[in-house]
Amino acid sequence: MQLDDTAVLISIDVQQGFDLRPFGPRNNPDMEAHALALLAAWRTARRPVVVVRHDSVHPDSPLAPGTPGNALKRGFEPQPGEPLVTKHVNSAFIGTDLESRLRAAGVRQVVLFGISTDMCVSTTARMAANLGFDLVVVGDACYTWRQPTPDGALLDGETIHRAHLTTLNSEFGRVVRTAQVIEALSPLAHAAVGPGTA
């Protein structure tokens, strides 16, 4: 894959509340490890990061402001100079200054990861594409959990995760893996390994 020189990495709702209440069995237990590796490589390349946090308006939510669950997971806090965008609904573009920030910076491409694949990541991703941004979703740096279907059955998290990534990749942008993004961040190192040198 190729990264645009304006690309911004957006971390979505990687918050402690998802571990503090039983949301059901989740998929992708390696999500946090992938996401931390992605953040480290992105920051090492001195590219911009935006951190999004969900401040729930429901007082009994594990993500409500003032509760332990509202805090970002360790390692996912914004570093100096990185903006924190707080939202109250699924999309990070609704009721926030995210779009205006991106427009002001001349951003053409957004790279998203976070929690959960099918809700806040998917909603933000679809809106980003509809707003005209070149969309990249890092699929192995997202997760979701088992949920009941309308007819009372249970759908496992991996199936939901894969279904949403499939439709995002089919219609809205590209779904990639963490390793692909990290490789794209190091074009000079990659180019140095020419034919016969590997």
Q: What are the sequence ranges of the domains in the chain?
A: 8-189
Of residues 4, 5, 19, 87, which has the active-site annotation? 87
For residue range 74-105, what is the model confidence (pLDDT) as tens digits?
999 999 999 999 999 999 999 999 999 999 99
pLDDT at 190 over 50: no
87 a catalytic residue: yes
CA distances to 35, 94, 189 from 63, rounded to whole Å, are 20, 18, 41
| Architecture label for domain 8-189 | 3-Layer(aba) Sandwich (3.40)
Q: What is the mean pLDDT of residues 113-132?
A: 98
120 a catalytic residue: yes
Which DSSP state fits 104?
A: H
Kindly calculate the radius of gyration of the chain based on its CA atoms and give it in whole angstroms.
Answer: 17
Q: What is the mean pLDDT of residues 119-147?
A: 98
Question: What residues are paired with 8 via a beta bridge?
Answer: 110
13 a catalytic residue: yes
Of residues 73, 120, 140, 142, which has the active-site annotation? 120
pTM of the model: 0.93
